[in-house]
A = this chain, B = another copy of it.
Amino acid sequence: MSDHTPQTADRPTERKVADAQRAALELARTDDGRRSDALREIAAAIEANAEAILAANERDVEAAEELHADGEYSRAFVDRLTLSETKIEGIAEMVRSVADQTDPLGETIEARRLDTGLELYRVSVPIGVVGTVFESRPDALVQIAALALKSGNAVILKGGSEALHSNRILHETILEATPELPDGWAAQVEAREDVETLLGMDEEIDLLMPRGSSEFVEYIQSNTNVPVLGHTEGVCHVYVDSAADLEMAREIAYDAKVQYPAVCNAVETLLVHESVAGTFLPAMAEEYETAGVELRGDERSRAIVEMDAAVEDDWRTEYGDLILSIRVVDSLGEAVDHVTAYGSKHTDAIVTDDADRAARFMRSLDSASVFHNASTRFADGYRFGLGAEVGISTGKIHARGPVGLEGLTTYQYYLEGSGQQVGTYAGEDAKPYRHEEFDGEWSPGSLSGEDGS
């Protein structure tokens, strides 16, 4: 656009975003067949290119191993970075499964006849240009690009520098497999300054999806006017009610902490009604201790079971580890108050056989997910059946909780008329509107014949 754009070997980020904007408009018009075929081409190209991808990944892994030897990276970090034949097959399968998802675009969400021959359709469309900043697992780049393509969005990809060579070759593989897609639909940026540039482009970028630590997501949110869909922390609770089946409570509380403690939907604080605490806690604590869970309790818990004292900060902490805080409460209301005061509005569960008490708990909490007699660990796009998971949102606007492809769409209003003017429906002899919902899908010339002019 500008004559004064500085020319560098690499195209500047602004130029990539401008190309992405153009590509987005074209992508929005492509039908699902073309988008899904392109995804299958990508899957095939990744498999065909496996050797070169592994070689590039080897370079990232070697560098990471050195930093691991220096104590900078954990073993788990290096493992996540490392690709293998099997992992590459898994990535290709994932891309094919995204291709197989129902088309999120072109769906008529509602149809309303405003008057005879004047029909309004609300139709799902892509958001436009989505900026993403993600962690170092090399499959992240492919997953995000696949989800963006399926939902007709252009995407700017910024991966972790630790995966630089892996990301480069995966990005090239994707672009080479999709020559028929609009130029610039998936652009990669690599430098930290590029992220700063993206944060300032609120006229051009429609949505930012950062993945990573809470601190990182919060940093992005605080430094941009682009809407951000992201996930900060998960301080999740399980509340064992007075009317709980204690055997069920034991299984749920165990699963929610022990099955995978490092994730955001693992429980961090166990709340127990005082009427069952004496029966429930001793056996529960024994089971936790066998699993290596460190317990920190309030005074009343510690009167029942010996454990360290929880301090005020414990109630707010996402341990992400085999640590659990425990508190005895007098009532369901006190449990709700605790979750409201200390929780992160992520996922909270009640165990009770009393449906009305469960409903009271669920309707009193402002959490994205509230569960009755099930483990908090179910809060996940795959388990929820949303298909591919775009991410988890802890905001309340646009998309909340686990986000599927639908979170990458917005809508347009299409009005099909036959020459209507607003003047006809205004003033003294105003014609009234009909405003009738009807079952209908927008398509070219969808205005129903009998009603049309």
Say which residue of B251, B363, B379 sits within 8 Å of A28 (CB atoms). Answer: B363
Q: How far is the CA of A93 from the CA of B309 in the complex (A)?
A: 59
Size band of the interface chain A makes with B = 35 or more
For A423, the chain B residues whose CB sits under 8 A away are 255, 259
Q: Which of A131-139, A172-180, A187-195, A221-229 contacts B (4 or more CB under 8 A)?
A: A221-229
Say which residue of B24, B356, B371, B433 sits within 8 Å of A385 (CB atoms). Answer: B433
Assess A362 versus B419: contact at CB under 8 Å? Given A222-B225, A227-B395, A433-B385. Answer: no
Interface flag for A410 (CB, 8 Å): yes
| Chain A stretch 404-441: residues in CB contact (< 8 A) with chain B | 410-423, 425-426, 433, 435
| Chain A stretch 19-42: residues in CB contact (< 8 A) with chain B | 24-25, 28-29
Residue of B nearest to A347 (CB): B413
Assess A400 versus B412: contact at CB under 8 Å? Given A385-B112, A433-B383. Answer: yes
User: When the two chains form their complex, are residues A127 and B259 in contact, meaning their CB atoms are under 8 A apart?
Assistant: no
User: When the two chains form their complex, are residues A413 and B366 in contact, meaning their CB atoms are under 8 A apart?
Assistant: no
Minimum CB–CB distance from A354 to chain B (whole Å) comes to: 9
Interface flag for A275 (CB, 8 Å): no
Q: How far is the CA of A418 from the CA of B349 in the complex (A)?
A: 12
Minimum CB–CB distance from A443 to chain B (whole Å) comes to: 8
| Chain A stretch 252-310: residues in CB contact (< 8 A) with chain B | 252, 254-255, 259-260
User: When the two chains form their complex, are residues B413 and A369 in contact, meaning their CB atoms are under 8 A apart?
Assistant: yes
For A222, the chain B residues whose CB sits under 8 A away are 225
Interface flag for A71 (CB, 8 Å): no
Assess A425 versus B384: contact at CB under 8 Å? Given A412-B368, A412-B370. Answer: no
Interface flag for A355 (CB, 8 Å): yes
Assess A397 versus B207: contact at CB under 8 Å? Given A412-B368, A416-B372. Answer: yes
Interface flag for A234 (CB, 8 Å): no
**Quick one: copies of this chain in the complex?**
2
A217-259 Cβ-contact flags toward B at 8 Å (1 or 0): 0000110010100000000000000000100100110110001
Residue of B nearest to A415 (CB): B371
Instruction: Identify which of A206, A225, A368, A425 gathers the most chain B CB atoms within 10 Å of its CB.
Output: A225
Instruction: Identify which of A118, A248, A416, A420 gathers the most chain B CB atoms within 10 Å of its CB.
Output: A420
Interface flag for A401 (CB, 8 Å): yes
Q: How far is the CA of A383 from the CA of B120 in the complex (A)?
A: 10
User: When the two chains form their complex, are residues A383 and B419 in contact, meaning their CB atoms are under 8 A apart?
Assistant: no
For A112, the chain B residues whose CB sits under 8 A away are 384-385
For A369, the chain B residues whose CB sits under 8 A away are 412-415
Q: How far is the CA of A375 from the CA of B385 in the complex (A)?
A: 42
Instruction: Identify which of A114, A367, A375, A421 gathers the most chain B CB atoms within 10 Å of its CB.
Output: A421
A-B contact pairs, 30 of them (CB 8 A): A29-B363, A114-B378, A120-B384, A127-B396, A128-B366, A128-B396, A207-B397, A221-B225, A227-B227, A248-B419, A252-B419, A252-B420, A255-B422, A259-B421, A259-B426, A358-B444, A369-B413, A370-B412, A373-B418, A373-B419, A374-B415, A374-B420, A375-B421, A377-B422, A384-B413, A397-B410, A398-B398, A400-B410, A400-B413, A402-B413
Q: Which 6 A-B pairs have the closest CB atoms?
A: A374-B417, A355-B445, A255-B421, A359-B444, A385-B435, A377-B422
